[in-house]
A and B are shown apart, each in its own frame.
Chain A
Amino acid sequence: MSDNNIAERVRGTIYQASLCLDEARWEDWLGLCHDEFYYAIRAFSPEINVDMTYLDGKRADMVTLTEMLPKHNSDHSPLARHTVVYTVDVDEAQQTASAVSSFTVMKTELDGINSHLLAGESNVFLVGKYRDQFRIESGTPLFSERIVQLDTRRLDKGSHWPI
């Protein structure tokens, strides 16, 4: 398979993951991830001059996290992302790829404040970049790492959901 075809599949996988995350289909999202998947949400703080990790874990940790979501009280306002894949670099010899995407996550209020007044209102929740690594197995890209690098650091209520 050519680099171009693999790159196209990587793009498709990133967009597929965006849809899964938008629709809170956690199992489907994790189905796109390799067994050794690592996930982290990071940000640099100009206040304390530190690279911070807000959340991280391996695939098993993300399975636990998503399986426990129904046991928590959460703001269920849907989060929808606009993702644009900027670059895809394929290493055919190693059967790996890396990609950088930009994302904006919009929150459409549902039950986080006063639903009668606010449900339906959309606001920007997060801005940042996805820095993804893939393993190509039988021509199929699987996420081996996703670093969610946030620009947004005023996070208000935050979220229980993977971004």
Chain B
Amino acid sequence: MPARNAKQWEKVPGKLSSGEYVDSRIYSDRDIFEEEITKIFSKVWMPVCHESELPDPYSFRTMTVAREPVLVVRGADNQIRAFLNVCPHRGNMLENRPSGSFEEASPSGAPKHITCMFHAWQFDMKGNCAHISRATEGYQDRLECKDVGLRRLRCEVKYGGFVWVTLNDGIGQTVEEWAGGAFDCMQKSLDAEPLEVFHYHKAIIPCNYKLWHDTNSEFYHDYLHYHNRVTGFNDSYFARKNIGFDNGHVNVGSFEVQYDEYEGFESREELSFPHLPTNHWEMIDFFPGVNFNLRGSALRCDIMTPLGPDKVMIEFRGLGLKRDTPEERLTRQRHHNSIWGPFGRNLHEDLLAVTTQQATMSEWADKRRILHGRHELDADGDPTIHDEEGMRHFYDAWGQWMDRWPGDPDLSYEEGQKRKAA
């Protein structure tokens, strides 16, 4: 068909059915975005940092989950706990630094305490209030330390030492239950011995968080990394399978990368992760916006913090083994950064693509259909790497959480299901 007129453009192309495309408004509509924060991000488990970022008792890290400031601390008992980073007195942010230690005194407070600099209220590493300045003089017996502990958050350390937090006290699942088996493909490698973060950088990208998740989920975009595609990919790359798990998580199956065929790359054979066959690659797209990517010698983890319908912060971490020698660590860094670093070959291409993708979907732009209708099966009938089953699986879970049909977000999930069945 030649170029289409407006009416043709609005029609579903070809014979694609409902459930094989989404409405672009889910990437640009402010109300939908606000709903996602309320209905999804404030309800689920999210990894927020790695335990190696809290190396000693009294270490802390700060972050943001579903717009709420969060403080993660390692207590004197070595236990990692999470709290809202909010003083119960006047709502001040308790700790402003990205990381540090409460072991030393602060200008306003005692050592080994979390101190609000504003009025010097102090808290211990378990979130108990330990001191209210001039408490009796101001509050008499109307308010005491026992009344104003910090807001604790459910927190688990799981899957290679990642610190997981949820704002949802009533969440019915542990992290393991929430993962629903999605980590089975790499858990043995992650839990074999302690890991350590060696790389961190962040990007604030003018795109919806789901566009980044889509890009991590679909490998049809190997055409974007054209040079890699024509030099290093083999038949087993294209035979990889997308496997869906409960709660919208997806695995992309393993394959052996021919690094020595990639121009400008070296083999990862010398330094694989424990239990990972040499040069292999495993990947988990974790609902709603996390990616774990274990590729030979290095683990990459992307954590997304949605900032608006067209803005997302992505934190990129690279991890190796805690026991690495300096030489091994440098090798892992090189392997990680040559592809995934901010000056590496693939990351820039991926981020460029999602930026220009969002540029066509401004908030008031006409809705359009964004396709994910590829069904590319192997001889056994299983979806392969160019099948877009991963995205379809994600959007089905998204639709259930949001009670909206991704292909037409004005419909409820149930209405959309009926339309699909019809």
Residues of A at the B interface (CB closer than 8 Å) are 41, 43, 45-50, 52-56, 61, 64-65, 68, 71-75, 112-114, 153-163
Contacts and interface: CB of A to CB of B under 8 A. Distances in A.
B226 A54 contact: no
Interface centre among B227, B347, B348 (most CB of A within 10 A): B348
A59 to B, nearest CB: 14
- Secondary structure at the B interface, as helix, strand, loop or mixed, is mixed
Contacts of B352: 73-75, 112, 157
B359 A114 contact: yes
Contacts of A157: 203, 205, 348, 351-352, 355
Given A50-B200, A114-B359, 5 more contacts: A47-B53, A52-B201, A53-B334, A55-B343, A161-B343
Interface of B: 52-53, 55, 61, 97-99, 197-206, 224, 226-227, 263-264, 317, 330, 333-334, 337-338, 341-345, 347-349, 351-353, 355-356, 359
Nearest to A157: B351
Given A48-B197, A157-B348, A160-B348, A113 B341 contact: no
B343 A47 contact: no
B284 to A, nearest CB: 22
A153 B202 contact: yes
A2 to B, nearest CB: 38
Nearest to B61: A47
A54 B318 CA distance: 11
Contacts of A47: 53, 61, 98-99, 200
B201 A160 contact: no
Given A68-B264, A74-B352, A157-B355, A55 B197 contact: no
B342 A155 contact: yes
DSSP majority for the A interface? loop
B343 A158 contact: yes
A55 B201 CA distance: 13
B200 A75 contact: no
A54 B348 contact: no
B345 A160 contact: yes
| The 9 nearest A-B residue pairs measured at CB | A158-B342, A155-B342, A71-B227, A55-B343, A114-B359, A157-B351, A47-B98, A48-B200, A45-B200
28 contacts: A43-B201, A47-B200, A48-B197, A48-B198, A48-B317, A52-B199, A53-B333, A53-B337, A54-B342, A54-B343, A55-B338, A56-B334, A71-B226, A71-B227, A73-B226, A73-B349, A112-B355, A113-B206, A153-B202, A155-B202, A155-B203, A156-B205, A157-B355, A158-B342, A158-B343, A158-B348, A159-B348, A162-B343
Contacts of B349: 72-74
Contacts of A71: 226-227
A116 to B, nearest CB: 10
Given A64-B264, A157-B203, A157-B355, A49 B99 contact: yes
A160 B99 contact: no
A156 B98 contact: no
Contact of B341 (A46, A55, A163): A55
A123 B303 CA distance: 26
